[in-house]
Chain A
């Protein structure tokens, strides 16, 4: 799924202006957490096509993404980054969006449209 489609599904707004090309990037996996150590432990592959969904709005989220080579973060529950953090995200080349949906609703909407968790298709 394209970044711009994800933004539409979540009615998400970009936290700053990004180069147009970022909206054409493809994503297939989502990892949702407020615990950065969980992200650091569990996102082991496909980092370039993984979206990090989180309610944790501080520079540690950005650092975590940097270490993992994750490039796309969506902040849930209408949270925003402070200006310093936005500047830092820009320097790191991270794309950051904010949505008013809660974690549960944001996950549900993306899941419904076919994005999978980090282990791929849910089989139940």
Chain B
């Protein structure tokens, strides 16, 4: 499996004005190269939830997208902290530490990570006080 298209983005903490731009770009990029709409929709939803988490919970972060030669799409969301103390809780639907501000923007249902897990074909999350890395893979029929 080799990457045939690589893109990188930076996401800034508390930047609600631009929230969603990265996912929007990922969505249109994948549409241009002909990934199926059903797969793109799953990727867009997971990407948007992950992007928002970088903005509202982490100190910003980086997003890496790779389209592989077998048609699969890999997304990595990497932030420098503060980390998730209890991953099991974080993955439980309804569990949230979102701030008032984030809630005011429509987030904080505690549904993001469970939903990302549901729509992705491979889901891996690692977290420590030095940061969180979320790696996702989406297979797509070529």
Contact = CB atoms under 8 A, between A and B. Distances in A.
Physical interaction between A and B: yes
Interface of A: 34-38, 40-41, 47, 56, 58-61, 63-64, 66-69
B82 interface: no
B120 interface: no
Given A40-B48, A68-B41, A63 B19 contact: yes
**Which A-B residue pairs are the 10 nearest by beta carbons?**
A63-B20, A36-B106, A37-B111, A37-B109, A41-B115, A67-B44, A35-B109, A56-B106, A41-B111, A67-B48
B19 A40 contact: no
A58 B108 CA distance: 15
A33 B10 CA distance: 30
B36 to A, nearest CB: 13
B14 to A, nearest CB: 13
B20 A69 contact: no
B112 interface: yes
Contacts of B48: 40, 63-64, 67
Interface size classification for chain B: 20 to 34
Contacts of A40: 45, 48-49, 111-112, 115
Given A60-B16, A68-B41, A69-B41, 13 more contacts: A36-B107, A37-B49, A37-B115, A38-B109, A38-B111, A40-B111, A40-B115, A41-B118, A58-B105, A59-B19, A61-B106, A64-B48, A67-B23
Contacts of B23: 63, 67
Nearest to A54: B106
Interface of B: 16-17, 19-20, 23-24, 27, 37, 41, 44-45, 47-49, 52, 105-112, 114-115, 118
Main secondary structure of the interface of A (DSSP, over half): helix
A58 B17 CA distance: 10
A67 B41 CA distance: 6
Nearest to A43: B45
18 contacts: A35-B108, A35-B111, A36-B105, A37-B108, A37-B110, A37-B112, A38-B109, A41-B114, A41-B115, A58-B106, A59-B16, A59-B19, A60-B20, A61-B106, A63-B20, A63-B23, A67-B27, A68-B44
